[in-house]
Amino acid sequence: MKKIVYMIFILFIFSGCDNTVKDKSIEGANFPSSTSIENSYDHDEKTPLNQEKTKIEDIELDEYDINMKRDLLCLKMAYPEYVSYFERDAKGEVYLVMTSGNKILYDDRLSKTYNQKLANADLQDTMEMLYPLGNISELMEDNYDPGRFRCYAFLKEVYGGSRQQIENYLEGVSIGGKVCSFNNRNNASAALKQVAAQMKILGQSNNIVRQNIFPVNGTYNYRVIAGTNQLSPHAFAIAIDFKSDKRDYWKWASRELGQQRLGEYPREAVEILEENNFIWGGKWAHFDILHFEYRPELIIKARYYVEDFEMEGSWYYGFPTEDERVKSYIETIDRI
Ligand SMILES: [Zn+2]
């Protein structure tokens, strides 16, 4: 599908049309900007048209491949005990082979609407929108919801495939004077313990944090997301809702009220959670300000993302290659 979008794009370029083609993946969002064909490709006016086309197609394939490899590296770094290795089948499709032996397709290559991605995201869909690690002062716009798409096959592999299995993995974590159940797989409960300890220290000297964060509203709850058939991340015990405010959720409050609440929310607390691999629902256009979710792959992608990395040589530019494990993961991915 992407190929078709690019071909249309190429036609626009050569017909001199000003219209821009919306990237189906971003759905109108303008954060962050990505390298466009124009500035990643140095036009040579003397090159015949068909050669230009071939070059642009090559760049497109390279870009897809680079992005895929970076996503796979993030997934391997974030779930080292669960993602075993990668495999490419005869058709060229790439799979994650999980420790259980089950295989999960990276990209189904279907063109999906926003709602279709919510219901049935593959791993590529879940990682497409870059999570903004820095502070934000405005609510996100245009369906920019990094982390709101989830790949259920993957979550079930890591955190439990049934209610009973998930409940076997629950561990009580004491946070803000309450004991909360959290999944003990892939370091999720360990990360929450770390958050609890850091939050306790911060809360001692910071009233605003204490008043806005505690008491915790909830963690584990085997339920679907309101108005959908999809399991909530709370059902996997990898999400935490802190103190509730009626302006917290896009279904409860206008954008204006959400914006007001966003402005008041203690960023020191957000930083602690992000440091420990939790993403914040305050950074979603469909805002969910009390909600944080353990998604190490998205935090890792955000942490090592470098603008224009395609221009810097290797596909893993920006990643910590001094780390021996990361180095070995890169070698694994290069063999796909
Ligand atoms: Zn929540």
Of 23-27, 156-160, 190-194, the range with the lowest mean pLDDT is 23-27
Q: Give phi and psi for 281, each to the nearest 5.
A: -65, -10
pLDDT at residue 15 in the model: 39
CA–CA distance, 121 with 123 (Å, rounded to integer): 7
| Cα dihedral value 276, 282, 287, 289, nearest 10 | 90
Q: Give the C-alpha separation, 282 to 163, whole Å.
A: 28
Domains in the chain, CATH or no CATH each:
1-30 (no CATH), 132-300 (3.30.1380)
pLDDT higher than threshold 50 for residue 24: no
How far is residue 96's CA from residue 86's CA, in Å, rounded to a whole number?
5
For all residues of the chain together, what is the average pLDDT? Answer: 86
Q: 300 — alpha (psi -120 to 50), left (phi > 0) or beta?
A: alpha
> Cis peptide leading into 320, omega within 30 of 0?
no
Of 54-58, 227-231, 238-242, 272-276, least confident by mean pLDDT is 54-58
Name the pLDDT band for 67 (thresholds 50, 70, 90): very high
Q: How far is CA 62 from CA 26, 29, 57, 68, 207, in A?
A: 19, 23, 9, 10, 50
Rg, Å, the chain Cα set = 21
pLDDT higher than 60, residue 18: no
Distance of alpha carbon 319 from the chain centroid: 17
The confidence band for 17, taking pLDDT boundaries of 50, 70 and 90, is very low
Question: Of residues 50 and 223, which shows the higher confidence score?
Answer: 223
Q: Is the dihedral of CA 150, 156, 160, 162 positive or negative?
A: positive
Q: How far is the CA of 235 from the centre of ligand 1 (A)?
A: 10
- Res 226: pLDDT: 83
Model pLDDT, residue 57: 66
- Ligand 1 centre distance from Cα of residue 44 (Å): 52
Global confidence as pTM: 0.83
Q: Ligand 1 centre and the CA of 272: distance in Å?
A: 17
Residues 6+ positions from 253 with CB-CB distance below 8 Å: 246, 247, 261
Token pair 């930083």 is found at 271
The alpha carbon of 310 and the centre of ligand 1 are apart by a number of angstroms equal to: 35
**Across residues 265-284, what is the average pLDDT?**
97
The rounded Å distance from CA 293 to ligand 1 centre is 8
- State the distance from the centre of ligand 1 to the C-alpha of 241, rounded, in angstroms: 5
Q: What integer pLDDT is reported at residue 47 of this predicted model? A: 56
- Asked whether the beta carbons of 183 and 277 are under 8 A apart, the reply is no
